[in-house]
Amino acid sequence: VALEFDDVSFGNVRGFSLKLHEGEIVGLGGLSGCGMHDVGRAAFGLEKIRQGRILRNGVEVKNPMTAIRNGIGYISKNRDTEALILQGSIGDNIALPCLDGIAKNGLIFTKDKNKLINGQIDLFSIKCRNGKQWVNTLSGGNKQKVSFAKWTAKGSEVFIMDCPTRGVDVGVKQSMYALMEEMKKEGKAILMISEELSELIGMVDR
């Protein structure tokens, strides 16, 4: 079990239980406002829990810092306001969750940082001049690729994906689906939240 909701209540959600396993994609579907987006936020420690526990490897997830330290990445539905720093570079967005991992004795070397950033730009085929280009100049699809890249760069094992293909074109959608299948083969656990039933039918195990 990679992530567990144990009889959790928060907001309008009551007594919610779910086990997400390694190498599995679990889907939550419905309309906006039904509570599924709140489940994603809770998994990343963004909701105040009234009852129950959310567990990752025996550790209770109470805030985003705990979630990140325990290998959880969160791709928000609200890309421009929650997932990315628009007035920042592609490189800074990708490297931000990873700084503790690439720092040596408290120092971050440009060579190490650029290697990490360029590797993710190549992996996701992000269309840009270079890693210094600002995120707010990118298309919706390339912004979403940066949202994914920051957590794969971090080495996250559990991915909370809230409407991961929202506002992107068909070509980018296909590449996102292929990436998710590859992540699943690698043993990553994915909680996929979507308002598109066809997307869930095509992608999820449960």
Q: What is the β-pairing status of strands 25-29 and 189-194?
A: parallel
For the segment 126-140, the average pLDDT, to the nearest whole number, is 93
pLDDT at 171 over 90: no
**pTM of the entire structure?**
0.91
* pLDDT tens-place string over residues 15-68: 999 999 999 999 999 988 888 999 999 999 999 999 999 999 999 999 999 999
Say which amino acid occupies 128: C
* pLDDT value for 61: 96
Q: Which residue has the higher pLDDT, 118 or 166?
A: 118
Location of structure tokens 């009889």:
7
For the chain, the C-alpha Rg in angstroms (whole number) is: 17
> Which phi and psi angles does 175 have, rounded to 5°?
-70, -35
Q: How far is residue 58's CA from residue 63's CA, in Å, rounded to a whole number?
A: 15
User: Which residues, other chains included, contact 119 with Cβ-Cβ below 8 Å and sequence gap of 6+?
Assistant: 153
